[in-house]
Amino acid sequence: MSKRKAKDAPLPVGECISQVQDILRKRLCHQQLPDSPEGVEAQHKHLLELLKRTAVHGESNSVLIVGPRGSGKTMLLKCVLRDLLEEKEVEKNLLQVHLNGLLQTDDRIALQEMTRQLHLENVVGDKVFGSFAENLSFLLEALKKGDRSSSRPVLFVLDEFDLFAHHKNQTLLYNLFDVSQSAQAPVAVVGVTCRLDVLELLEKRVKSRFSHRQIHLLSNPTFSQYLERVQTQLGLQDDFPDKTFAQDWNASVKTLCEDKSVEDALQRHYNSSKNFRSNHMLLMLCLSRVSVAKPAIKPADLLEASKMCLVDAQANMLHGLSILELCLIIAMKHLNDVYDGEPFNLQMVHNEFKKFLQRKSNSMYNFEQPVIMKAFEHLQQLEMIRPVDSSSAKTQREYQLMRLMLDNTQVLEALQKYPQCPTDVKQWAMSAYG
Amino acid sequence: MNGYVSVMRVRVFELMMLLSAGVEETDAQSKPHQYSYPSIFIYGHQSSGKSHVLNVLLKELELPHATVSCVECVSVALLFEQVLLSFFGCHAASLLPRSPSLSDFVRIYRQQSSQSPAKQTRYIVMEKAELLRDSDANLLPALLRLQELVEDNVTVILLSEIVWDRFRPNTGCFEPLLLHFPDYSKGELQHILAQDRNPSYSDEFYSAYINILLGVFYSVCRDLRELRHLAALNFSKFCEPLAEGKVKETDTHKLWRNIEPHLKKAMQTVYLREVSSLQWEQMQQMEEKENGAVRGLSAHTHVELPYYSKFLLIAAYLASFNPARTDKRFFVKHHGKIKKTNFLKKNEKTSNHLLGPKPFPLDRLLAIFYSVVDSRVAPTASIFSQISSLVTLQLLTQVSHGDQIDAPKYKCAVSMDFICGISRTVNFEIIKYLYDFL
């Protein structure tokens, strides 16, 4: 129905779809900032106040934003910065330094990056000169010279803050917090981390200089809020060029969310994780199915995408094993059952497999030891079995102790799905329960 | 696109939709400027077409991409250089300092991409991504969120055989989009293998051959590359009766009778790389010679050792595979007759040849050695140096680490067949002395 309506629209369907993809992909993949962060208004206000005090009044502050992954910490920070920079005076005045614990892996690199972003005198073009000690004293000197009234405030943003705590002696953190405590140039230190115990990582002297101000982002949306979020994520704004298409699209999204099976699928996702990221992943998979021929998200799309998200990867891999490898895994499973999770080696597995063959007296699976070893090594390469100790050169390959990295249920489930699984193998696998 | 890709239309379609939407419609202008998901993780079995499909796709669609094999990149510097080189030319790669950090890479990437902003999504394809786990701990999490770090329209695609669960760092990371490349079914394998047929024979003839080949090897091997190699190797043998004029092309049963034992032999030799494919071809040409008559790699296990070394090795084998309690019964002259059943402790019911060799101290080795050697041997330096040279030959392994000159412990690391061969040369019946075979 929507297709017919779209034909009446002033823009061709292809153009509309392209626009939709453009907008939604920016939202889902590129973490485009929303107009106002939802659900975290209080935190937003708190952080904005705090940074404003640094930027306008020259107060030194330190704060930690803590929350699990995908809970919108960076989004919150970016929103606050955007709102903060709207003020003319602040925009002119505030200096920003962004560091990331993943990139600046030690203090020397972090210091170089800081001097570069602050455009200090020892920077020529893009290069920084001087040793670590020189850089540090230079930077501290520059910060010390300033005072509350005259110098420009500096905002330090430390992403992956917990990784900075692993640096040697925590020199960088100590100096930053020290500057923020003493009456020198006004600085604000904002740490972003996903570890709740981040304060335990800090040294005592560093911890005592930190203001112990934490902003927690432990969003806990109810299911109805979650559903609403899905709708707003997929919905089109009023500024979409083709109004009728936008209305159609929004209506189709609304009907999608009201569908019973879709609601069940979303409930499953909600139960496994409530964060934005996994939600985005699901919606992205749905969105990639939208094309000119099918200009709306159908419930079937979402169900399929949800199936793709929730699938057991190990089961997928088990599906592609050869019969011999599967037999070896069953033998390992039996060994695990009998010896209560003790590690095993190839000889034992082969022995167990031979017992099965004797019982069956079927020559079909009579393989030589080297062929079995090859299959065994393939399993090790796939990391379905793992050596107990890593001293691989020390013992012979057939006597190396291994552990099975699969669940009993995983094995049995894989067996059910295996294409053209011989019945005797199936019975052998079940025999422990029979 | 060629043969494989047609088999995996579903996968390709899925991937294409993810990479850049709408590319499959040539009439509508493609929209490569749209953002793509920051990282995609593709997993699947060996030779299920992961790299091939991706490479063909990226090339056909003319998307800017850098393909990096993690095996080659022994240091991160090589990785950075390759990525910068293929995106921005050699000028950018030369900007990297010596031993660059991730920070340098991101800085230079940003600088370059601001000079030449992306009109399309750039793709970085990492093959054998499981090796990324062994390198720097920060590398994998940083690559997964590279789009955010460099603020450019870039997507990192990781290819691996191992599932994502084994990759996740313990503090978590940005979760990539998971995509599975399913394995080929038997029919699909047959379809693909039948495509590189010999033009001088008919289609049916070749697919009958493939059918027979799969019948032998399918239960052991599903690796397309391996099967292909085997198919190419053995085809000439399959055609042989035809060339001699004994059978017609349609007489499948006779052809099967001819090739089947041959293929079974191939499984024990070529498949295990016992004989090289060149040797295999030579063996096929020399018809008078039986297949497998050429000794494979593992047949060359015979090692010539000095007399005392042989006995040392025998002693080590006995010490490794016999429990210490039974030494008295085997090696002291006037022991009484004791049945094995009296010996059995509860935990010794499984044989030692199943559990593997046990470590033993040097004293025990020497004691057994003196008892099995007939003549009087002085414990000279040469005896001890022979022990340590057996260790360097990897016939023995030293178990306890470090500098224990005092009481080193060893394990015997040779197989049953090997030690039987050795003891035969010195007329020693080792089976009599093995507890497992009592």
**Sign of the CA dihedral running A275, A281, A284, A286:** negative
Write the pLDDT tens digit of every residue in A348-380. Answer: 999 888 888 887 756 667 788 889 999 999 999
My answer on whether B47 and B98 are in the same domain is yes
CA distance B200 to chain A (A): 33
Q: Indicate the residue among B151, B180, B209 that finishes a domain.
A: B180
Contacts of A167 in chain B (CB under 8 A): none
Contact between A22 and B31 using a beta-carbon 8 Å cutoff: yes
pLDDT at A124: 66
CA distance B374 to chain A (A): 31
Q: Is residue B47 part of a domain?
A: yes
Q: Indicate the residue among A264, A283, A310 that finishes a domain.
A: A310
Count CB neighbours of A391 within 10 A: 12
Task: Select the residue of A281, A345, A382 nearest B175 (Cβ to Cβ).
Answer: A281
Q: Indicate the residue among A260, A288, A310 that finishes a domain.
A: A310
Work out the pLDDT band at A331, boundaries 50, 70, 90: very high
* Residues β-bridged to residue A156: A97, A189
CATH number of the domain enclosing B80: 3.40.50.300
CA distance B276 to chain A (A): 16
Task: Please give the average per-residue pLDDT across A277-303, as a whole number.
Answer: 84
Q: Is residue A268 part of a domain?
A: yes
CA distance A141 to chain B (A): 25
Write the pLDDT tens digit of every residue in A242-259. Answer: 888 888 888 888 888 888
Residue of B nearest to A395 (CA): B413
CATH number of the domain enclosing B395: 1.10.10
Task: Give the C-alpha separation, B427 to B307, whole Å.
Answer: 12
Which domain, by its residues, includes B128? 35-180
Q: Is residue A20 part of a domain?
A: no
My answer on whether B252 and B323 are in the same domain is no
What is the H or E stretch that residue A387 is in?
A: strand A385-387
**Sign of the CA dihedral running B135, B136, B137, B142:** negative
Task: Please give the average per-residue pLDDT across A183-210, as a whole number.
Answer: 90
Q: Is residue B301 part of a domain?
A: no
For residue A339, what are its two tokens?
């010896």
My answer on whether B144 and B227 are in the same domain is no
Q: Which residues of B344-359 are buried (b: 16+ CB within 10 A; e: fewer)?
A: eeeebeeebbebbbbe
Which domain, by its residues, includes A50? 40-216
Work out the pLDDT band at A6, boundaries 50, 70, 90: very low
Please tell me the total count of domains within chain A. Answer: 3
Residue of B nearest to A68 (CA): B172
My answer on whether B39 and B165 are in the same domain is yes
DSSP A190: E
My answer on whether A237 and A358 are in the same domain is no
Q: Indicate the residue among B180, B214, B244 that finishes a domain.
A: B180
CA distance A339 to chain B (A): 12
Q: Is residue A26 part of a domain?
A: no
A79 touches chain B (CB under 8 A): no
A64 touches chain B (CB under 8 A): no
| Residue with more model confidence, A91 or B7 | A91
Q: Is residue A3 part of a domain?
A: no
Task: Please give the average per-residue pLDDT across A41-62, as a whole number.
Answer: 89
Q: Is residue B282 part of a domain?
A: yes
Task: Select the residue of B102, B274, B397 nearest A102 (Cβ to Cβ).
Answer: B102
Q: Is residue B151 part of a domain?
A: yes
My answer on whether A46 and A128 are in the same domain is yes
Q: Is residue A24 part of a domain?
A: no
Helix (H, G, I), strand (E, B) or coil at A195: coil
Q: Is residue A4 part of a domain?
A: no
Task: Identify the weakest region by mean pLDDT among A152-156, A273-277, B14-18, B309-313.
Answer: B14-18
My answer on whether A364 and A410 are in the same domain is yes
* Residues β-bridged to residue B408: none
**Chain CA centroid to CA B57, Å:** 28
Task: Select the residue of A105, A289, A374 nearest B138 (Cβ to Cβ).
Answer: A105
Q: Is residue B115 part of a domain?
A: yes
Q: Give the pLDDT of chain B (438 residues) as one tens digit per residue.
A: 344 545 555 566 667 666 654 444 333 334 557 788 889 999 999 888 888 888 888 888 888 899 999 999 888 899 999 999 999 888 888 888 888 889 999 999 998 988 887 778 889 999 999 999 988 888 999 999 999 898 888 899 999 999 999 999 988 889 998 888 888 888 888 888 888 777 788 888 888 889 888 888 888 888 999 999 888 888 888 888 888 877 777 788 888 888 888 888 888 887 888 778 888 888 777 754 555 556 667 667 778 899 999 999 999 999 999 888 888 888 877 666 655 555 555 455 567 788 888 889 999 999 999 998 888 888 899 999 999 999 999 899 888 766 666 778 899 989 888 999 999 999 999 888 887 776
* Amino acid, single-letter form, for residue A51: L
Task: Give the C-alpha separation, A127 to A112, whole Å.
Answer: 9
Write the pLDDT tens digit of every residue in A394-412. Answer: 778 888 889 999 988 889 8
Q: Is residue B3 part of a domain?
A: no
pLDDT at B41: 93
Count CB neighbours of B74 within 10 A: 11
My answer on whether B70 and B167 are in the same domain is yes
Q: Indicate the residue among B132, B148, B180 that finishes a domain.
A: B180
Contacts of A284 in chain B (CB under 8 A): 37, 177
Q: Is residue A23 part of a domain?
A: no
Task: Give the C-alpha separation, B33 to A30, whole Å.
Answer: 12
Q: What is the largest CA-CA distance in chain A?
A: 92
My answer on whether B171 and B192 are in the same domain is no
Residue of A nearest to B148 (CA): A30
pLDDT at A9: 46
Q: Which of residues 117-146 of B touch A (CB under 8 A)?
A: 136, 138, 141-142, 145
What is the H or E stretch that residue B266 is in?
A: helix B252-268
CA dihedral B108, B114, B116, B119 (to 10 degrees): 120
My answer on whether B61 and B98 are in the same domain is yes
My answer on whether A358 and A325 are in the same domain is yes
My answer on whether A125 and A248 are in the same domain is no
My answer on whether A119 and A229 are in the same domain is no
Average pLDDT value for chain A? 85
My answer on whether B158 and B194 are in the same domain is no
CATH number of the domain enclosing A113: 3.40.50.300
My answer on whether A209 and A259 are in the same domain is no
B260 touches chain A (CB under 8 A): no
Contacts of B36 in chain A (CB under 8 A): 25, 29
**Sign of the CA dihedral running B251, B257, B258, B263:** positive
Please tell me the total count of domains within chain B. Answer: 3
For chain A, percent of residues with pLDDT exceeding 90: 25
Q: Which of residues 302-321 of B touch A (CB under 8 A)?
A: none
Contacts of B357 in chain A (CB under 8 A): 395-396, 399
Contact between A69 and B173 using a beta-carbon 8 Å cutoff: yes
B174 touches chain A (CB under 8 A): yes
My answer on whether B117 and B52 are in the same domain is yes
Question: Of the spans A27-31, A188-192, B55-59, which averages the highest pLDDT?
Answer: A188-192
CA dihedral B394, B396, B400, B405 (to 10 degrees): -100
The model's pTM is 0.88
My answer on whether A190 and A86 are in the same domain is yes
Contact between B161 and A194 using a beta-carbon 8 Å cutoff: no
For residues A170 and A204, the answer to whether their CB atoms sit within 8 Å is no
Using alpha carbons, list the distances in angstroms from residue A181 to A62, A171, A189, B181: 9, 15, 11, 55
A17 touches chain B (CB under 8 A): yes
For residue A330, what are its two tokens?
């069953």
pLDDT at A184: 77
My answer on whether A332 and A396 are in the same domain is yes
**Chain CA centroid to CA A384, Å:** 24
**DSSP-derived secondary structure for B99-167:** S--HHHHHHHHHHHHHHS--SS-EEEEEESGGGGGTS-TTHHHHHHTHHHHHTSSEEEEEEESS-GGGT
| Residue with more model confidence, A141 or A361 | A141
Interface test with A, best of B33, B110, B135, B138 (most A CBs within 10 A): B138
Contacts of B355 in chain A (CB under 8 A): 345, 347-348, 399
My answer on whether B216 and B134 are in the same domain is no
My answer on whether A283 and A351 are in the same domain is no
Q: Is residue A304 part of a domain?
A: yes
Contact between B164 and A313 using a beta-carbon 8 Å cutoff: yes
Using alpha carbons, list the distances in angstroms from residue B47 to A151, A328, A329, B164, B219: 62, 22, 22, 18, 17
Q: Is residue B341 part of a domain?
A: no
Interface test with A, best of B143, B170, B177, B398 (most A CBs within 10 A): B177
Task: Give the C-alpha separation, B414 to B412, whole Å.
Answer: 6
| Residue with more model confidence, B312 or A118 | B312
My answer on whether A298 and A322 are in the same domain is no
For chain A, percent of residues with pLDDT exceeding 70: 92
My answer on whether A193 and A141 are in the same domain is yes
**Chain CA centroid to CA B146, Å:** 31
My answer on whether B169 and B194 are in the same domain is no
B184 burial (CB, 10 Å; 0-12 / 13-18 / 19+) is: buried
My answer on whether B40 and B176 are in the same domain is yes
Write the pLDDT tens digit of every residue in A421-434. Answer: 888 888 888 886 54
Q: Indicate the residue among A260, A286, A310 that finishes a domain.
A: A310
